Amino acid sequence: MLENQIGKRYAEALSGSITDGDVLEKALGNLKSFQGVMNAEKQLPSFFGHPSIATEKKKNVVQEICRQLQVEDKVSMMLVMLNERGKILYLEKIVEYFEKAVDRRLSRERVQVIAAYPLTDENVDRLKVALNKIIGKTILIDTEVDESLIGGIMLRIGDQVADDTIRNRLKMLKRTIEKEEVV
């Protein structure tokens, strides 16, 4: 709960400080890159969380990572501030909320598509066009393959799910049959 509040607060503050859409997009990429380094280098979370390591040493590491990743100034300043306030370990939630803020500002909607088989680029493009007409926003699609679905497709848009998979249809058929047997 606390990490959600912290993530949202810092993400909204960074989003509010950037007016240009292209800069917003670049800032999101910078944050994701920094988070990628944090995930790849397993000792970094322990380093930043260790109370006996001086904040100045941690700041130098943050600045060096930012320099190597060529992070924008506003993002770099925020990462340094997160370090100073002991909040850099909440970066994953900050990135999550910042991505939502960027999508909102740029009128985009992220859709997770789960299918039994890989979708072709043509199918993804047709799905984008159809969803764009329904939702009225630019659609960003993340695809995933789950062979346990047997066939069909599942869409997750925010907290809504549209499940048109064979696995789901079989579950519904099973429930219908069980209800009829009870009666």
Q: Which pLDDT belongs to residue 182?
A: 67
Q: What is the mean pLDDT of the chain?
A: 93
Find the domain containing 111 and state its range.
107-182
Name the domain boundary from 104, 138, 162.
104
* Together in a domain, 26 and 95: yes
Cα 60 from Cα 57, distance rounded (Å): 5
* Together in a domain, 114 and 99: no
pLDDT of residue 69 exceeding 90, the answer is yes
pTM of the model: 0.80
Tally of domains within the chain: 2
Nearest to 3 by CA among 87, 86, 98: 87
* Together in a domain, 124 and 82: no
Q: Which pLDDT belongs to residue 159?
A: 87
* Together in a domain, 88 and 17: yes
Residue 78's alpha-carbon distances to 73, 117, 167, 181, in angstroms, are 9, 41, 45, 62
* Together in a domain, 78 and 90: yes
* Together in a domain, 80 and 13: yes
What is the phi/psi pair of residue 156, to 5°? -125, 115
* Together in a domain, 116 and 87: no
